Structure 1
Amino acid sequence: MKLLRYGPPGQEKPGLLDPEGGIRDLSGHVADIAGDVLLPDGLARLAALDLADLPRVAGEPRLGPCVGRVGKFVCIGLNYADHAAETGAPIPREPVVFNKWISALSGPNDDIEIPRGSEKTDWEVELGVVIGKGGKYIPPQEALSHVAGYCVVNDVSERSWQMDRGGTWDKGKGFDTFGPIGPWLVTPDDVGDVGNLSIWLEVDGHRYQNGTTVTMIFDVATIISYLSQCMSLQPGDVISTGTPPGVGLGQKPPVFLQGGEVLRLGIDGLGVQSQRVVRAV
């Protein structure tokens, strides 16, 4: 299934993408794509619905973040061997963990806002993992059973706040609009081999990132298990699993967003995002 949320910010309704690419309204069955809906039984109930009984949604409404009531937005840094090489960093011995603030969440096609005074706003296409069944101390061999689905994430980053101003990476990662997720939450049965997906990003039609999840250093199961050793994972938590090479910081010379650009990014089977870049007023 490809689950989604549509409508104005803060008023999103739950929906499902039908085989023709149309949106079917799920609000007669669930209040949101969130909480217990993401548990195995909740997803099974949605999968059992007859599409013909679900109302069609007219037009092309705005898509919101594909998951509601997100509790944690946890990210993994330097998790592609070729991206680590691009930055000159050594291969991490353990996952590099940082956070994006929940207020950074935005829809997959909403504008990205360059913060006031920023000269180093950058892009990062990433595979997102959404937790269904919560838990802690999860063994690696059981980790994938805790996944509700996968999505596209743009881990937008302000490199000066991230790297030049002391403290942790979190400061440069959590500005408003820096966490587009979606367009859909795709359940594992519709994804195939999550360890072998093409992942790409373009700026104004120029493809900067063109990678594959094959080069991830820590796979999804390892990441979930690792995180569950130091925090409880709960339904709706989002984990962003790192980016392949081709970020703006890695260009020679570096290329950063100035405003006016259009980003397009996607992952095999998980859909495409498109964002216009604007400057904060």
Structure 2
Amino acid sequence: MMVPLVLLVLGALAAATAPRLLSRADWPEREPVLALCVWQCVVAAVLLCCVLAMALTASAAWAAVRGNVFAFAPRGVVEAYGLPGYGRWSGTVAVGLALGGAWTVAMLTREIRGARSRRRQRRIELRARAPRLPGEMVPAGERLVVLEDVRSDAWWLSGAQPQLVITTAALRRLRGRSLDAVLAHEQGHARARHDVLLHCAGALAGGFPQVPVFAAFRDQVHHLVELAADDTASRRFGRLATALALVELNEGRAVFGPGPAPFGALPGRVNRLLDPGPRLTVGRRLRVTAFALLAPAVPLVIAFGPGLHALT
């Protein structure tokens, strides 16, 4: 049972140590897109360790599963794994991992259904607050909705018919490039499909709150997607315009005053735009990317190693 044991130990080490290592790094806020890539690769590596260990232990416990997993493998490959020597505990481990996989699917399904329900409710409220006039024609593919409201706000409503919603107060408050920066920020969320990433992170953290990497992944994703959208807007309309847009859009929410505020990350985002740190060099970005891609590759090498060795 050496290969599944190594995979499980590797997955546990990655789940426990990766959040600490990434929290100590000084570059994620300067490179939010790269940081999101690293987090996804680490989470994928942990999940791969569990899936591959489940496949091998289930193959050792039940001949029917072994016949499907190794259906196209030569006899020498199957023998290289020493499946009969895994022992009676292989079935218990396989069942435990399968239950964990089923729980993950259930949590993801619950997250998707909850998101759909919330979107449906928001669309109902939107139609009630911004109804169509009798005889009004709706342009095909309309994506912008102006909502009468005394609060400055703008958000992207995802779904089958995505819409960008902005309030009249925001239109009165924002001008020129600041308004363009807000719209570009929300469009950056939509183009990068940040909603999908947030749903996956929420499902894993909700299903396995004791696993450090999943809880940290959810918290960091919420922060990093905002930084990535800020960068999208700043590249098109400038850092100053984007920072002013954040201030003008949120100054009525007591975000920048003394004391705690529910939008505590906003001052940091504004400071980051006004006083940006140096980006990583191209070489370092390539090295970080290579190490990130190596994370999910290691479980694959460990799992397929005995079989590849048997073929040589």
Fold shared per TM-score above 0.5: no
TM-score range, shorter chain: under 0.3
TM-score, normalising length from structure 2?
0.21
**Greater strand proportion:** 1
**Greater helix proportion:** 2
Q: Which has the larger radius of gyration?
A: 2
TM-score, normalising length from structure 1?
0.23
